[in-house]
Amino acid sequence: MKIVVLAGGYSPEREVSLSSGSLIANALIQNGHRVLLLDAYVGISILPDPLDSLFRTDAEYRHPIGTEVPDLRALKKTSGNGNSLIGKNVLKLCAAADTVFLALHGAMGENGMMQAVLESYGIPHTGSDYTGCLLAMDKDLAKRLFCDAGIPTPEWVLGKGDEAEADRILQRVGLPCVVKPLDGGSSVGISMADTREELIEALRNVAKYGGRMLAERKIEGRELTMGILDGRPLPPVEIIPTEGFYDYKNKYQGNTREICPAEIPRQTVCQMEEYVRKGFAALRLKGYARFDFLLDSEGQLWCLEANALPGMTPTSLLPQEAAAVGISYAELCERILRSATRPVK
């Protein structure tokens, strides 16, 4: 098959996405496919004739992740894209492929916008369709649907992300709390607040990422995650940061200890599996996804959020979970590819 692996994009998570995309592209080439790794925001200015020459069987892609969130303003200045979030010739190249493998994280790559564009053009792609991505990415909508499905989630409040929200958050959620962008990922823009002063600083920080924010009650407990692939929950992972919490730096610089399968009671694993299945259905997800949990000292599970396009980097969790049940990285990519979403005709 001819496959475009679509990565990068105009998102704080573009470096993570390019790292995921590089590994995915290499695995698909290993599986015998012809592949083009394409940055959704940068695109390709001048196309060769024929286009097929861009689809390679011998490439070796690499993209290490730095410690800092990328400077999107600088990227916009150099791109020449203006206000467009899709780079030059991206859709033309996607249409030339048999399938688009989405390795995008955050922003339009994960909130349903890119999926809607591809589906509007009749271009098949991996992962969930635009509806599932939208519902999973909007943390407020996702938590409302969790509640409707009987999935415990920490109490929260939706806000605009400015200092004036502090008193309302204190009244509704209290301290300690967690402040995060409404539609972000990779822990970008997340802050923990134990005091009113820290809450105000957290609101200032989250405002850098624009749009709305979500503040939720902080649950003290063990960090767990569980993926689902083709309707089958995978083994849970426990995440233990060496310091602080599971933030952007700790996630991608190897500053965590990850135990897979997590050493938790079988009863807790079964409860997670039930919540994952219910959450997957409630958010109308397809193919694969990952759900993040906290397990408190009383043994109560709390679902924090769902990820419709889980990371596939060297430190990512879904590949570890798949490996625990004998699914290699290359096989995981192939399974995701084979379950690609086909446009409705």
Contact 166, 206 (CB under 8 A): no
From the list 8, 9, 13, 191, the catalytic residue is 13
Tokens 């916009």 belong to residue: 76
Distance CA 125, CA 257 (A): 33
Strand order in the sheet with 213-217: 156-159, 213-217, 177-181, 191-193
117, 119, 122, 124: CA torsion to nearest 10: 110
Catalytic residue among 290, 316, 329, 334: 290
Is 292 catalytic? The answer is yes
Catalytic annotation, pick one of 11, 26, 307, 316 = 307
In this structure, what token pair is assigned to residue 43?
Answer: 């695109």
Among this protein's residues, is 13 annotated catalytic? yes
Q: Of 26, 111, 186, 316, which one is the catalytic site residue? A: 186
Residue 288 falls in the annotated catalytic set:
no
Instruction: Establish whether 10 is a catalytic residue.
Output: no
Residue 216 bridge partners (DSSP): 156, 178
* Residue 136 to residue 199: CA distance in whole angstroms: 25
Q: Which of 307, 289, 282, 343 is nearest to 129 (CA)?
A: 343
Residue 140 known to be catalytic: no
User: Could you tell me the two tokens for 94?
Assistant: 């996607």
How far is Cα 159 from Cα 30, in angstroms, rounded to an integer?
46
Catalytic residue among 112, 159, 185, 311: 311
* Active-site residue (options: 41, 130, 252, 288): 252
DSSP state of 344: P
Number of Cβ within a 10 Å radius of residue 10: 23
**Do 323 and 331 touch, CB atoms closer than 8 A?**
no
Tokens at residue 128, please?
């969930």
Told to judge if 296 belongs to the known catalytic residues of this protein, a careful annotator would answer no
Question: Which of 15, 258, 292, 334 does the annotation list as catalytic?
Answer: 292
Q: Please, what's the largest Cα pairwise distance for the chain? A: 63
Q: Is 167 a catalytic residue?
A: no
Q: Six-digit token pair at 248? A: 């952007």
Torsion of CA 340, 342, 183, 194, to 10 degrees: -40
- SS3 category, 192: strand
| Active-site hit among 305, 316, 321, 334 | 305
Active site residue 290: yes
Hey, which residues are catalytic here? 13, 186, 252, 290, 292, 305, 307, 311
